[in-house]
Structures are given as structure tokens and as C-alpha cells.
């Protein structure tokens, strides 16, 4: 069976401590089911990182989705996309006919600010948090002349401007490079406007076999990898190699000749340097050219390779378990031509990349890359 996305839905993303998980899930799932034309599902995969035990069954019960297999998966920031990958595989193999993938997270209930380093992790025990890890990558790029501070800031300028056209984004705005660089320093050289916010939200997709429907978005290829041991053997910064290798798997499965066949991409930009490294690892920019692509408009709406038209994690928000499925929802809307003021004209091939963080001596906890095709 060739899997296809029949419906998508998302809640509004933002700091919503007064909104319970059931309400967040209701917004995403009800929209996805309605978008798919209604009807039951045979199984559910739910991606979440910090939600309490049993949350999947509780939020689904409120929507009358009971008595079927429900599986919860955790793969750091790639949890939602992992749920989507498993849903696609269940349909492809014929295990289930119609599957719901749901991602959900309420970060504001778990953390006052940045995620606390995990003390059972060797690097986490020393206090190494993800902002510092990404800052190390940015420092390396600056040292090697592969990026400038202005190019780092240009990613934030671009994605905050894209989010102006996304009514479900956490926040948006028109900033200058100078304003981004002048915002409060978080982890040198990354300033506040170069870091994703703490977010709450949910996103969902209904996956079933392709039937040729005019609104079905085909899943041409999807791949999932976990990071390998990372150290001096790699000439690249943390996160590059697992994205590169996962993308190669997805491109092969999709039959893509080159990354330049991709018309629009949603990639993991938890920090500005993340988008730059990822566009290079995906092949959307040449090595050392990711910063220049952002600075010259190549990855902006209207550019040659538009990246993160939704606003990305930087502006749409980053509720960990929901992020990957929000990316899927954006690409589905782009390929249907339903993205409104952020629409990429003529988009036929879309890409989703989500990289799960973590610093346990691995090149990332997990990465999912999916290639989707317009109806």
C-alpha cells in the first residue's frame, strides 16, 4: 500500500498553561479527522516527550477514540515525526488501514525556561544544555568562516517574517538583523531571538492508503535513524551526519535525483545555526553556504529553496512532541496550495526534517526525514 496523508490539523502554538492537554489534542485531532472526511481510525501513534504516563489514552478517550491499539513513542524532538513514520509503515505493510498520528506537548507545565539537562546523561551531568551545544556549533562555524553573525541573525529575521502569515504560530514579527543581534544573549553567539520559545501545542495527521483523491498528499519516502557515536572521527558539527544519512535514505526511498528537486522544506531550526547546518546536511545548500543562503534570500519565501515558511520552530513554536507533525501539516498545506500568504508557488515536492536532540555522546537521539508529493 502506498501511504498518503488524508487530513491534518494543529492547535494554536504558544505558552498555554491554562489549557489542558485534552483541549490541545481536541483542536488538532478534530481538525485532522474533519480534513480527512471523517470516519474512524484503526490505530493511533502518539508522540510526546514530557507528558504524563497514560496521556495518550486519556486525551483520545475525550474524543471517543477507544478500544483500538494506541502506542506512545518518545524520540526527543523527533517524537511526533516518529509517530508519523510508524503510521506510514503500518499503512504501507497493510497492518492497519487508517491510522492517526498525534503529537502533543505542554512545555509550560514542565519547565519555567530552557529544558533542564538530564543528570543521567554524561554531558547533562556537567550542565551542558542544548542552547550551549548549538552555540558550540555556531562558534565552530564562525571560527571556520562558514557563517557570519549577521547570517545567523538572518535566519531569525526570515522565519519570524514568515510566521506573520501563520495564524497558529506562537509569535511573529518584522525584525532587523541588528535587532536580532541586540536581543539578550542566551549562549554566545546565540541571542534570544535566535532560540525557539517554550511552547504548548498539538498536531495530527490521518494516514491511509492512497486512493487518488484530489487532496491526498503522497508519502514518497520516509526514513528514521538514531545518532551514531560522535567525536573526532567526524569533521562536522554535532547533528550534521545523522541528518545527512537519514536524508540519503529518504531520498533513495522517494526516488529523488537530488535535494534540489525539493520545492519547499520544513526543517529543525530550534536555533538559527540548526537551520544552517541542516540545509547543508540535506543538500539544499552547499557545504559552508547555508548561512549565505539565508542572508541572500535563497531560503526565503520567493527564493530558490524556501525553508520554514510556517515560521519554523523559532516562530511557530516548538512543543517537542507536536513539532514534527506540525511540520507535516505545513508541508501538506503547501502541496495542496492551502498555505495562504506563505504559499510557495507551484510546490510539488515537500520535505520534512526533524532532529531529536540530546547530548549523550551521540550525534543526536533521532532524525526523521520525509518526502511528500502533491496530489
The C-alpha cell at 271 is: 536555533
Distances (CA, A) of 87 to 28, 99, 269, 342, 364: 16, 6, 24, 28, 22
The C-alpha cell at 121 is: 546523561
Out of 195, 196, 318, 367, pick the active-site residue: 318
d(CA 25, CA 149): 39
Neighbours of 52 (CB within 10 A): 11
Written as one string, the DSSP assignment of 58-89 is HHHHTTT--SS-EEEE-BTBTHHHHHHHHHHH
Neighbours of 10 (CB within 10 A): 27
CA atoms within 13 A on the CB side of 328: 41
Neighbours of 212 (CB within 10 A): 8
Out of 77, 88, 196, 367, pick the active-site residue: 77
Neighbours of 214 (CB within 10 A): 6
Annotated active-site residue 77? The verdict is: yes
Dihedrals phi, psi of 98, to nearest 5 degrees: -145, 120
Annotated active-site residue 165? The verdict is: no
Neighbours of 170 (CB within 10 A): 25
Which residues are designated catalytic? 77, 318
Amino acid at each position: 500500500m502506498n501511504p498518503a496523508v488524508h487530513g491534518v490539523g494543529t492547535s494554536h502554538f504558544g505558552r498555554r498553561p491554562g489549557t489542558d492537554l485534552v483541549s490541545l489534542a481536541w483542536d488538532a485531532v478534530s481538525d485532522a479527522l474533519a480534513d480527512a472526511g471523517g470516519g474512524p481510525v484503526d490505530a493511533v501513534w502518539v508522540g510526546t516527550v514530557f507528558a504524563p504516563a497514560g496521556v495518550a489514552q486519556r486525551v483520545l478517550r475525550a474524543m471517543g477514540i477507544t478500544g483500538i491499539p494506541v502506542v506512545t513513542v518518545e524520540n526527543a524532538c523527533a517524537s511526533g515525526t516518529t509517530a508519523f513514520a510508524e503510521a506510514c509503515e503500518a499503512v504501507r505493510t497493510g497492518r492497519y488501514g487508517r491510522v492517526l498520528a498525534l503529537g502533543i506537548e505542554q512545555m509550560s507545565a514542565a519547565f519555567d525556561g530552557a529544558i533542564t539537562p538530564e543528570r543521567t546523561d554524561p554531558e547533562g551531568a556537567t550542565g551542558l544544555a542544548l542552547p550551549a551545544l548549538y552555540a558550540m556549533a555556531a562558534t565552530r562555524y564562525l571560527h571556520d568562516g562558514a557563517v557570519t553573525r549577521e547570517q545567523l541573525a538572518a535566519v531569525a529575521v526570515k522565519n519570524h517574517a514568515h510566521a506573520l502569515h501563520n495564524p497558529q504560530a506562537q509569535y511573529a514579527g518584522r525584525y532587523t538583523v541588528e535587532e536580532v543581534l541586540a536581543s539578550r544573549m542566551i549562549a554566545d553567539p546565540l541571542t534570544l531571538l535566535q532560540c525557539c520559545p517554550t511552547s504548548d501545542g498539538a498536531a495530527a495527521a490521518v494516514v491511509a492508503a492512497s486512493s487518488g483523491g484530489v487532496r491526498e498528499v503522497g508519502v514518497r519516502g520516509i526514513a528514521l535513524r538514531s545518532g551514531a557515536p560522535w567525536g573526532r572521527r567526524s569533521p562536522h558539527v554535532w547533528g550534521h551526519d545523522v541528518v545527512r544519512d537519514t536524508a540519503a535514505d529518504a531520498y533513495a526511498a522517494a526516488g529523488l535525483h537530488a535535494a534540489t528537486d525539493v520545492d519547499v522544506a520544513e526543517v529543525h531550526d530550534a536555533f538559527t545555526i540548526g537551520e544552517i547546518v541542516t540545509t547543508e546536511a540535506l543538500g539544499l545548500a552547499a557545504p559552508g553556504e547555508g548561512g549565505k543562503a539565508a542572508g541572500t534570500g535563497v531560503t526565503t519565501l520567493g527564493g530558490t529553496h524556501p525553508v520554514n515558511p510556517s515560521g519554523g520552530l523559532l516562530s511557530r513554536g516548538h512543543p517537542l512532541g507536536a513539532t514534527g507533525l506540525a511540520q507535516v501539516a505545513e508541508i501538506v498545506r503547501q502541496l495542496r496550495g492551502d498555505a495562504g500568504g506563505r504559499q510557495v508557488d507551484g510546490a510539488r515536492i515537500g520535505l520534512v526534517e526533524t532532529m531529536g536532540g540530546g547530548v549523550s555522546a551521540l550525534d543526536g537521539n533521532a532524525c526523521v526525514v520525509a518526502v511528500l508529493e502533491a496530489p
